[in-house]
Amino acid sequence: MNKKVNIGTEFLPLSKKDMEERGWDRPDFVYVTGDAYVDHPSFGVAIISRVLENAGYRVAILSQPDYRSKDAFTEYGCPKLGFLVTAGNIDSMVAHYTVSKKRRSYDYYSPGGKMGARPDRAVIVYCNRIREAYGAVPIIIGGLEASLRRFAHYDYWDDKVRRSVLVDSKADILTYGMGEKIILRLAELLSKGIPVRKIRAERGTCYLCDKDDKVNFPVADEFDFNRLKTDKEEYARAFSVQYKNQDAISGKAIVEYYDNKKLVQNPPMPPLEREELDKVYSLPYMRDYHPSYEKAGGVPAIDEVKFSITHNRGCFGACNFCALAFHQGRTVRSRSEESVIEEAKLIADMPDFKGYIHDIGGPTANFRYPACEKQKTEGVCTNRKCLSPRPCKNLTVDHSEYMHMIYEVEKIPKIKKVFIRSGIRFDYLIYDKNEDFFKKLVRDNVSGQLKVAPEHCSDNVLCYMGKPSFDVYRTFRHRFFEITKECGKEQYLVPYLMSSHPGSTLADAVKLALYLKKEGYQPEQVQDFYPTPGTASTVMYYTGIDPLSGKKVYVCTDYHEKQLQRALLQYSRPANADLVREALIKAGREDLIGNTKECLVKPEAAIRPKTANRRAQGKTANARGYDKKNVGRKRRKNNGRT
């Protein structure tokens, strides 16, 4: 198969004028998106639109339309086959609000980072406006917001269980997961004149039908929304069934009843195999934002990915707070080495390329294949995870192909350096008895800092996170610095840490604070647990039940206690002193309040205002979130979790 990766010569239409210049009277599909139009394969709209274009369909982009009336949705007239609707690359509520439910001031997916270009709950609003404009026109919804809200789901912002977004949007079909195969199949059926309401047998889709209508696949279980919204045990059980049926090989259909209607999720669509992925990434993307945004300052989201390469999909790590298992799935697929090398050559020839490939990664950078041979024929296990709490005996650990691919990219003229900046699964890394890749990573592919995600040091909390024991991180950390020293380099680990995850008590937070003190970490940024749709951890947060085990779990839902846990992780900040003292008293650890080196915080009267003010401004030598033993008194920028 031809592995050639192409660069485009023109963007898809972004206005009626663009469409008419192409000689079209109307498009086959109008693609409505809550993001600015960026034609780069890191953006879902770019991939789906180019896949459709490659199959011969005319696609016009309606980016961030004025949602206050139906008028903007008539830009191209009524499309021949239908509307495609997505909120964009991330859920619109996450894009708009912090974990404390405060309005964000910056939007990475809008021109100039300006907020307000898309509505809250964008999928619902866009579909309602389309219905106002065109009535019964086919509407297909997809993307992250639709995919993760396809069932009845706990909504953190409303603090209640909401209906499936398919019900509230009044769309015809919801596509979930990675959508290339699904959208081509739907386009084929619509182009043959099959009414959208009769399309019910396609994998990777959800639809609404009458209560007594036949389902085309075996059904795993049935649930009633009226019970799900009030019965937390039933809600947790429903998620468990959903989680266990997201594999294309073993997954079955799932049904939810909404009064006299029922929602059916058909089993997942099989993932794209290597040659299919190669083809998707070979399409002629412009690899930049639309030039109409230049005056506003461009689209910030392109900065991190313009010179990066995605080589894989899926993640068998399956952390409980991550929605990847519910969206991309737990089975990994990857592109061929030839395809990645061709894309690297294309990037190297771009006029603004400075010689640095920022990343060759994906959901987890160092995964290339399914976790074991069994997954290829029987699907992922429903009763255990591949890496936690301990690695499965059937786990295949091999970095050789990934390492060889990076070596080949590094040989390309004009490429000075290849960095790996997306998540490295450090447990998988140290399970590899062959350290060649580990040594290469530390020697060649770390930009002075390696971001890793231990998340916590309490095994109790890590268990609920679906992460391995903290001893695994200790082993990794020790070896990382050994290899760094052997290489004669000065490099640092930037650990991602999370406060207030279900299962985390004040005692756990104190334990983490003590570890940070012992090891010299003073994190500048800490992520509070953010309950977003489609994760097991969100179910724990809402129900107090671990849906994967059925066991009760402690949950920190009180805002003030969340502040206390977060303050403990940043105990050295003078601004947090009062909260740290309060947390230690509540945890029964008054012994950690004092003037000795073992203490986390001084007694109240012992703080001098001048010193506190200086530290609050971040001017102390060790206020940048790095390992004190290895940083000394140097300051470096912390590009940690946002």
pLDDT at 477 over 90: yes
Closest CA to 367 of 335, 389, 391: 335
Q: What pLDDT shows up at residue 631?
A: 38
pLDDT band at 423 (very low <50, low <70, confident <90, very high): confident
Q: What pLDDT shows up at residue 73?
A: 98
Percent of the chain with pLDDT over 70: 93
Closest CA to 172 of 194, 144, 192, 153: 194
pLDDT band at 629 (very low <50, low <70, confident <90, very high): very low
Burial class (CB in 10 A: 0-12, 13-18, 19+), 559: exposed
For 126, phi then psi, to 5°, come to -60, -45
pLDDT in tens, 161-204: 999 999 999 999 999 999 999 999 999 999 999 999 999 999 99
Q: What pLDDT shows up at residue 406?
A: 98
pLDDT band at 607 (very low <50, low <70, confident <90, very high): low
Tell how far CA 142 is from the center of its chain: 15
385 within 8 A of 324, measured Cβ to Cβ: no
Beta strands in 420-507 (DSSP E): 449-455, 492-499
Helices then strands (H, E): number in the chain? Answer: 24, 22
The domain ranges of the chain are 16-207
pLDDT band at 608 (very low <50, low <70, confident <90, very high): low
Q: What pLDDT shows up at residue 422?
A: 84
639/292: higher pLDDT: 292
Task: Give dist(CA 59, CA 292) in Å, integer.
Answer: 18
Class of 16-207 per CATH?
A: alpha beta
Mean pLDDT, residues 278-288: 97
Closest CA to 29 of 167, 150, 175: 175
223 within 8 A of 238, measured Cβ to Cβ: yes
pLDDT in tens, 358-398: 999 999 999 999 999 999 999 999 889 999 999 999 999 99
Please provide the average confidence, as pLDDT, over all residues in the chain. Answer: 92
Mean pLDDT, residues 622-634: 38
Token pair 């706990």 in the structure block, residue = 154
pLDDT in tens, 542-566: 999 999 999 999 999 999 999 999 9
pLDDT at 450 over 90: yes
pLDDT at 465 over 50: yes
Q: What pLDDT shows up at residue 522?
A: 86
The region that residue 625 occupies, defined by phi over 0 for left and psi between -120 and 50 for alpha, beta otherwise, is: left
pLDDT at 213 over 80: yes
The contacts of residue 422 (CB under 8 Å, 6+ apart) are: 308, 359, 361, 362, 363, 364, 365
Name beta bridge partners: 255. Answer: 222, 264
562 within 8 A of 571, measured Cβ to Cβ: no
The contacts of residue 636 (CB under 8 Å, 6+ apart) are: 448, 449, 492, 624, 626
Burial class (CB in 10 A: 0-12, 13-18, 19+), 64: buried
Q: What pLDDT shows up at residue 632?
A: 34
Torsion of CA 621, 624, 629, 632, to 10 degrees: -30
Task: Give dist(CA 425, CA 430) in Å, integer.
Answer: 9
166 within 8 A of 208, measured Cβ to Cβ: yes
For 568, phi then psi, to 5°, come to -60, -35
pLDDT at 611 over 60: no
pLDDT at 94 over 60: yes
593 within 8 A of 581, measured Cβ to Cβ: yes
Name the percent of the chain in helix, strand, coil, to the closest 5. Answer: 35, 15, 50
Query: How, if at all, do strands 38-39 and 288-289 pair?
Result: antiparallel
pLDDT at 55 over 60: yes
